[in-house]
Amino acid sequence: MPYYKGHKMNVGRPCKEETKKKISKKLMGHKVSEKERKKFIERMTGRKAWNSGTTGLYSKEHREKIGRCHRKGKNGECITPENKRIRQGIKFRL
């Protein structure tokens, strides 16, 4: 496969310690120009965060139930009758 700019041929492949040292030595003191910084900032501006839209997933009742469970610990306060029936069943014990 011929080399072309931006190729992904060896991405993710492990390399030898000697190779890692060579790469590290080559990039040591590498300065990023102001032009490159501006290009990066422009590219990233307006990008949505990975966790955007994650608020409001749970109802108020559900959040209160979760909070009760975390506060009570292992007292069994959070176990619903259905969960209790499942846990005491024979299939759960097997």
Q: What is the pLDDT of residue 76?
A: 56
The per-residue pLDDT for 2 is 59
pLDDT of residue 94: 65
Task: Flag whether the pTM goes above 0.75.
Answer: no
Start-to-end CA span in the chain (Å): 55
**Cα separation, 62 vs 49, whole angstroms:** 26
Q: What is residue 81's predicted lDDT score, i.e. its pLDDT?
A: 73
> For each of the chain's 94 residues, which pLDDT tens digit applies?
556 666 677 777 888 999 999 989 998 888 889 999 999 999 999 998 888 888 888 888 888 877 777 665 555 566 677 777 777 877 766 6
Identify the pLDDT of residue 35.
Answer: 95
